[in-house]
Structure 1
Amino acid sequence: MANATLLTTVSTTVSPYQSIEDCLATNKALYKFYAAVIIMICILALPLNASVLHLFIFKLKFWKSNTNNVFLFNLVLADILLLFCLPIKAYHFIQGERRSDNDTVCKAMLFMLFLNRGASIAFLTVTSIDRYFNVVHPGRKNLLRALKKSPHISILIWLLLLPLTIPTMLKNFDCCNSHGKNPEDAPEDILIKDVVDSLREVVFFTQILIPFIILVYCTVHIVNRLRKKTVGNRTKLKRAVFLVTSVMVVFSLCFLPCTIARMILLIARVQEWPLPQQDKAAVLFDGLMVLSYIDCLLDPLVYCFCSTKFKGLYCSTYFPFLVKDGEVPIESSSAVHTLPPTRNTVI
């Protein structure tokens, strides 16, 4: 009886601030809906990405074909690794938690989410830059063209992304507790926390905003190139325009909304909005983060299937009844390998 009274007293003395810091879902029904969306994304995206991965390995033999296929293989690999993390995320949402209360599981989830999301963004950006040079500056030598001759560039990109995950491991990122002001903290602790929080937020925003600026630049110049093209094969240029435009649209749909929501949430924390408004901003941020996971579903559709040759290979392998009589599907990587990279496959 005394223990029950003590627990009741402790529970009633927990401040609303502490409940936000503990990452508890205040609207459990909404978070169960978020979990349902995540599960649906997994159900749709996992077999799609697995089938694409199968084609890259066993049909295209990506390591022998053009390096664009190497970039795309790494893109699909990043999406699949991200998909493996999502069921854990959905489980905690169902339990009414915004993240795991186990510190090891929480940090492991953050590491995987940010590493694979960073890889996805990086390989999308590199693919668009490569398409930009092939279309706008087809005869000019550039660093990317020299590097892409070696498949080790993909390994280098993964290694360069590892340091970017460090700030997310220093403090809890998942609940966006940046720049929170706890009255019980000492001034020196607040200063250290603010420095760490600022570093983490800089990494988060630059990882999204800088690639987005690059994508906009590449898209605008490729579109201008198409408008100036009066002779020659405009169809191939149109495919390049479709690629970079699709990349930018998907990027805007998946990553920009959660970036804006995080900015609003940070403003709410710094300006010390009322706790109910901070909680609403956090719920919005979590929902838009769930929306960003659709990237795993859209990547294969946009970056792989915009190539008519890859689409033909995919249909002939998994949906042969869709292949018209007389059409000869691509059965090996040799057909892809012999294609001039600046003339045929948009990817």
Structure 2
Amino acid sequence: MENNLSMSDHHQDKSCDATHEEMYKFFAGVMILIFILALPLNGSVLHFFIFKLKFWKSKTNHVFLFNLVLADILLLVCLPIKSYNYIMGERRSENDSTCKAMLFMFLLNRGASIAFLTVTSIDRYFNVVHPGRKNLLRALKKSPQISVLIWLLLLPLTVPPMMKSFKCCRSLKDHGENGTITKDVVDSLNEVVFFTQILIPFFILVYCTVRIINRLRKKTVGDRTKLKRAVVLVTTVMVVFSFCFLPCTIARMILLVVRVQEMSEHIQDQADVVFDGLLVLSYMDCLLDPLVYCFSSTRFKALYLSTYFPFLAKTSVMRADSSTRKSAQPLPCRRDSVVLDS
């Protein structure tokens, strides 16, 4: 009896191990690089929102963007711990409490990042496609209520992974003695949460992008500059979203198929590695989100550069002034044209 229990524990411990240690060390290096680059960038943006821009007084969507950068910073906190696990040859922490805390932080802050990216695009969609229509989002975006509501709505989505205790906090491979993915309700809820957090916002982003682009095509008179800026913003959001989240979603689907069909252990290990690698790619969202801040407001971009990179701001101003002067100068008159006109 004791011998069987020890063999079972040994098997579960082995299931925590990374079968391709060199590959996981590479993943750890990528996460450390993302952390080194993204933390000061997002930290400066957070400082800028609070002390320079005073987002709570803004009449634009700066409240949404502040919550977006806050979610990114909280997500970045997980990267050193996850990198350490990968370097030690572990896919997940063997400590159940640490693993669940990491999973909670990951689900909450990744969900918040996706939610505020989506809300930013929806806000721009209403401003461009339905400029005169009153909507709840426009009324609440000036106050923190809707942001607090989004955070509260995301909390229940983190409950399913916390409901069950399993070795190494792995919901895809260790389902208990008799449970399977299709029969275990908790695991099914985990997968529903994972896919709905990504697929539903993606379809919303596609819809907003298509409608705003169509609006730009139909507008033949009037100011098209703001409309083009809106197109650039929603397109940037959709590109960042697609690059960071869709690959790991496809890998998750493949991994579930491999698990359900009970393919060979080698294929399952390969699917695990691919999924974990593309999950690391999703952390690039923390590094690419500042692009959304720049494209969302020219005022934000100008103030940010003048505050933290004044030499870049001066260069851009000098270029703009020189181009303005060149365009303002009259065209030189040629003698032959004067003669012909006379």
TM category (shorter chain) comes to 0.7 to 0.9
TM-score calculated relative to the size of structure 1: 0.84
One-letter amino acid of the counterpart of residue 126, structure 2: F
Partner Cα separation in structure 2 for residue 35 and residue 124 of structure 1? 26
* Residue 300 of structure 1 pairs with residue 290 of structure 2: yes
Match of 1:146?
Answer: 139
CA deviations 1:255-304 (Å, max 9, x no partner) are: 00000000100000000011100110000000000000000000012333
Partner Cα separation in structure 2 for residue 285 and residue 210 of structure 1? 20
More helix by share: 2
Contact residue 49 and residue 300 of structure 1 kept, 8 A: yes
The 1:244–1:326 alpha-carbon spacing in structure 2 relative to 1, beyond 3 Å, is closer
The structure 2 residue matched to 1:311, chosen from 295, 301, 304, is 301
* Residue 166 of structure 1 pairs with residue 159 of structure 2: yes
Partner Cα separation in structure 2 for residue 181 and residue 42 of structure 1? 32
Percent identical across equivalent pairs? Answer: 73
Q: CA deviation at 1:14?
A: 6.5
Partner Cα separation in structure 2 for residue 17 and residue 205 of structure 1? 30
The structure 1 residue matched to 2:260, chosen from 256, 270, 278, is 270
Match of 1:288?
Answer: 278
Q: CA deviation at 1:150?
A: 2.7
Q: Tell me: higher relative CO, structure 1 or 2? Use CA pairs within 8 A at least 6 residues apart.
A: 1
Match of 1:92?
Answer: 85
CA deviations 1:90-125 (Å, max 9, x no partner) are: 000000001100000000000001100000001011
The 1:87–1:280 alpha-carbon spacing in structure 2 relative to 1, beyond 3 Å, is same
* Residue 35 of structure 1 pairs with residue 47 of structure 2: no
Partner Cα separation in structure 2 for residue 124 and residue 107 of structure 1? 25
Match of 2:124?
Answer: 131
One-letter amino acid of the counterpart of residue 240, structure 1: A
Deviates further, 114-123 or 163-172:
163-172
The 1:88–1:140 alpha-carbon spacing in structure 2 relative to 1, beyond 3 Å, is same
One-letter amino acid of the counterpart of residue 301, structure 1: L
Aligned residues: 316
Q: CA deviation at 1:167?
A: 1.1
RMSD after superposition:
2.7
CA deviations 1:202-260 (Å, max 9, x no partner) are: 01100100000000000000000000010111111111000000100110000000000
The structure 2 residue matched to 1:75, chosen from 50, 60, 68, is 68
Contact residue 125 and residue 212 of structure 2 kept, 8 A: yes
One-letter amino acid of the counterpart of residue 69, structure 1: H
* Residue 215 of structure 1 pairs with residue 215 of structure 2: no
Deviates further, 214-223 or 173-182:
173-182
Contact residue 61 and residue 142 of structure 2 kept, 8 A: no
Q: CA deviation at 1:324?
A: 2.9
The structure 1 residue matched to 2:52, chosen from 54, 59, 62, is 59
**2:184 is paired with a residue of what secondary structure?**
helix
**1:281 is paired with a residue of what secondary structure?**
helix
The 1:163–1:45 alpha-carbon spacing in structure 2 relative to 1, beyond 3 Å, is same
The 1:143–1:103 alpha-carbon spacing in structure 2 relative to 1, beyond 3 Å, is same
Partner Cα separation in structure 1 for residue 252 and residue 169 of structure 2? 10
Contact residue 176 and residue 282 of structure 1 kept, 8 A: no
Partner Cα separation in structure 2 for residue 246 and residue 151 of structure 1? 25
Alignment of 1:3-42 (within 5 A): 18=12, 22-42=15-35
Partner Cα separation in structure 1 for residue 46 and residue 296 of structure 2? 16
Contact residue 179 and residue 197 of structure 1 kept, 8 A: no
The 1:252–1:16 alpha-carbon spacing in structure 2 relative to 1, beyond 3 Å, is farther
TM-score calculated relative to the size of structure 2: 0.86
Larger Rg: 2
One-letter amino acid of the counterpart of residue 178, structure 1: L
